[in-house]
Amino acid sequence: MVAGVSTRGPSVSSRPLALVTGASSGIGLEFARILAADGYDCALVARSHDRLEFMAADLREKHGVATTCITADLTLDGSIDEVFAAVPRCDLLVNNAGFANNGPYAELPETDIADEIRLNVLALARLTRRYLPGMLAARSGGIINVASTAAFLPGPLMATYYASKAFVLSLSEALWEEMRGTGVTVSCLCPGATKTAFFTRAKMEGTPLLSMQPLADATMVARAGYEGWKRGKRVVVPGVLNAALAFSPRITPRAMLLRISRRLVER
């Protein structure tokens, strides 16, 4: 369960509080940097305790904000309760933690598929449910859910990942509408391929997806998500090529789309 919670920095604060999952690397780390620079105290969640503490010390030193590090595996039962116990309210929730399995569905370990759904779908849905009431009571704040351009189409050989991101997009768009007039905004950030540890972790080096375009910069992606959320955007797809990619499933025959989607991740 939660291996540790540590809070440091100014104790009395009038600053807003952002909770970022998957803040130990990649897009989540860049979100934390951008939010701290913009005056948010930060609660950082991930499994890598040392990376979180290192990151938090850097945010305190550079921006004078308070930080809370929550070392937690969000696939585990009870982890959501423990995160919420450590941080019972936040002004901005960034549901960013996620990972992908890659390979034929029938050959993947069932536990890996379950963990992917627990993290990408269940943890995100439950954290959203926990924090929304406080935001609604305050009539401010909101949530940035990190999906992917994978949300717009099915993904053979990454079937669970694409399906999980379709869930994130659908949930987020529905909540964006539910939040209308409440002062709370739920946005969905849909990045294309971005330079982070994601592809190494998914064992996807050498796939056509990675060679067809330069990878986006994680700072740029996080900034687009934050700026889009501040403007009340429902869906943010950073980059013109990615925006075209996100639109193309609407006009491409489904069978052709599935073959293209498969080839992009096939070795």
Q: Which residues are catalytic?
A: 161, 165
The residue within the footprint of ligand NAP, chosen from 98, 225, 238, 239 (CB under 6 A), is 98
CB of 266: closest distance to ligand NAP in angstroms? 17
Name the segment binding ligand NAP (CB under 6 A); options: 47-55, 178-186, 233-241, 256-264.
47-55
Quickly count: other Cβ atoms within 10 Å of residue 62's Cβ. 11
* Separation between Cα atoms, residue 199 and residue 21, nearest integer Å: 18
| Beta carbon nearer to ligand NAP, 96 or 160 | 96
Helix (H) or strand (E) holding 29: helix 26-37
CB of 110: closest distance to ligand NAP in angstroms? 17
Name the segment binding ligand NAP (CB under 6 A); options: 19-27, 84-92, 106-114, 248-256.
19-27
C-alpha 6: how far from chain center = 22
- Residue 67's DSSP bridge partners are 8, 42
47 contacts ligand NAP (rule: CB under 6 A)? yes
The residue within the footprint of ligand NAP, chosen from 39, 125, 156, 201 (CB under 6 A), is 201
Q: Answer whether 187's CB lies under 8 Å from 235's CB.
A: yes
Closest by Cα among 48, 38, 47, 46 to 18:
38
The residue within the footprint of ligand NAP, chosen from 9, 26, 155, 228 (CB under 6 A), is 26
Q: Answer whether 34's CB lies under 8 Å from 20's CB.
A: no
Distances (CA, A) of 34 to 138, 147, 154: 23, 19, 32
CB of 222: closest distance to ligand NAP in angstroms? 9
28 contacts ligand NAP (rule: CB under 6 A)? yes
The residue within the footprint of ligand NAP, chosen from 55, 65, 92, 119 (CB under 6 A), is 119
- Residue 145's DSSP bridge partners are 95, 188
- The site for ligand NAP (CB under 6 A) is made up of 21-28, 46-48, 51, 73-75, 96-99, 119, 146, 148, 191, 193-194, 196-198, 201
